[in-house]
């Protein structure tokens, strides 16, 4: 079995990656520890609170998917600045023989106001005094004591430009939910006269996505709609450049041997 570790910025990213993976046939979500491949056993904390006495809101337990050939662990770092630390900390939890079974690692976050290359440069920064790993950014290989692991990065929205996950979701909505997108855009524009926070482009994008998600999953979090509805589908992957880029990179990673 080939095994892959993905570290993302937030819960919405997990839902998106899971959906793309399911479309690519990695479609069995693991909810029982007895079904978990041995390679991931040590990624599950053995105590709570997870971090000292802090009652953390974000669980460090990854989300797991698999099929007959591939297993994937997806972990929420909670923010872009924590991604590299979370990667190194996760590897430190694992035994050497488990690390040796990892065939690829993907790191993903929003570009925000930077270009993807600028954000990638900030992301790929390991504190080598703190962690015993070396990252060769030219070959994109992470060196551990026992092996070298290919590193892949996807910087939202399209691995090239500035922006965030919401750009990708709104591009998908143009294809799959054009009427809801039109209503959401009109609502957010009018609401911005009352709620000045919506004058900020990033907040407006998030609000539009939230409006559409709530129409389809009333009272549920956005990630539930991403998981259950058709933001990600064969149609949107084929017609949305941003989703297609992510799909192609995931395909590339999970076929790496």
The pLDDT value given to residue 124? 94
For residues 74 and 183, membership in a common domain is answered with no
Q: Helix 241-254 and helix 165-176: axis angle, to 10°?
A: 110
> What is the per-residue pLDDT for 50?
54
Residue 13 and residue 51 in one domain: yes
Give the per-residue pLDDT at 130. 84
3-state SS assignment for residue 108:
strand
Shared domain check, 179 and 71? no
The confidence score (pLDDT) of residue 60 equals 77
Which residues lie closer than 8 Å to 67 by C-beta, 6 or more apart? 25, 26, 27, 28
Are residues 246 and 217 part of one domain? no
pTM of the model: 0.94
Instruction: Please name the residues in contact with 63: beta carbons below 8 A apart, sequence gap of 6 or more.
Output: 14, 18, 29, 73, 74, 75
Write the CA distances from 81 to 68, 77, 91, 111, integer angstroms: 34, 8, 17, 12
100 and 50 inside one domain: yes
Question: Are 110 and 72 in a shared domain?
Answer: yes
Distance in angstroms (rounded) separating the CA atoms of residues 23 and 146: 33
The rounded average pLDDT for each run of 10 residues, N- to C-terminus, in the chain (257 residues) is 97 97 97 94 75 61 96 96 94 95 98 97 86 92 94 98 98 98 98 95 97 97 97 98 98 86
pLDDT (0 to 100) of residue 49: 55
Same structural domain for residues 47 and 150? Answer: yes
For residues 64 and 99, state if they share a domain. yes
Position 94 scores a pLDDT of: 94
- Token pair in block for residue 8: 């993302």
CA atoms within 13 Å, Cβ hemisphere of 110: 17
Same domain, residue pair 123 and 59: yes
- Judgement on whether residues 94 and 218 belong to the same structural domain of the protein: no
Measured over all CA atoms, what is the biggest interatomic distance in the chain, rounded to whole angstroms? 58
State the DSSP string of 25-81: T--EE--SGGGS-GGGGGGS-SSSSSBTTB--SS--PPEEEE-SSEEEEEEE-SSGG
Q: How many angstroms separate the first and last alpha carbons of the chain?
A: 10
Closest by Cα among 94, 92, 106 to 151:
106
Instruction: Please state, in angstroms and rounded to a whole number, the distance separating the CA atoms of residues 42 and 25.
Output: 25
Give me the pLDDT at residue 52, please: 56
Return the CATH number at 127.
3.40.50.10620
Host domain of residue 246: 2-161+241-254
Q: How many domains does the chain have?
A: 2
pLDDT at 129: 76
């Amino acid at each position: 079995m080939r095994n892959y570790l993905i570290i993302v910025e937030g819960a919405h990213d997990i839902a998106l990656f899971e959906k793309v993976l399911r479309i690519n046939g990695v479609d069995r979500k693991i909810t029982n520890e007895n079904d978990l491949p041995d390679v991931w056993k040590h990624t599950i904390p053995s105590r709570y609170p997870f971090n000292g006495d802090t009652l953390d809101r974000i669980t460090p337990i990854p989300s797991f998917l698999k099929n007959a050939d591939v297993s994937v662990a997806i972990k929420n770092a909670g923010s872009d600045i924590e991604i590299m630390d979370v990667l190194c900390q996760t590897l430190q939890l694992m035994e050497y023989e488990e690390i040796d079974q990892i065939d690829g690692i993907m790191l993903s976050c929003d570009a925000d106001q930077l270009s993807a290359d600028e954000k990638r440069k900030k992301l790929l920064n390991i504190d080598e005094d703190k962690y015993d790993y070396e990252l060769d950014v030219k070959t994109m290989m992470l060196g551990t004591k026992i092996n070298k692991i290919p590193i892949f990065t996807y910087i939202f929205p399209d691995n090239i430009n500035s922006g965030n996950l919401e750009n990708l979701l709104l591009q998908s909505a143009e294809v799959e939910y054009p009427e809801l997108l039109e209503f959401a855009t009109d609502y957010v524009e009018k609401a911005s006269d009352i709620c000045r926070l919506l004058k900020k482009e990033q907040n407006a994008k998030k609000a539009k996505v939230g409006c559409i998600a709530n129409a389809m999953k009333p009272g549920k979090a956005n990630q539930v709609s991403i998981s259950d509805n058709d933001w990600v589908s064969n149609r949107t992957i084929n017609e949305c450049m941003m989703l297609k880029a992510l799909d192609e990179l995931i395909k590339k990673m999970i076929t790496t041997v």
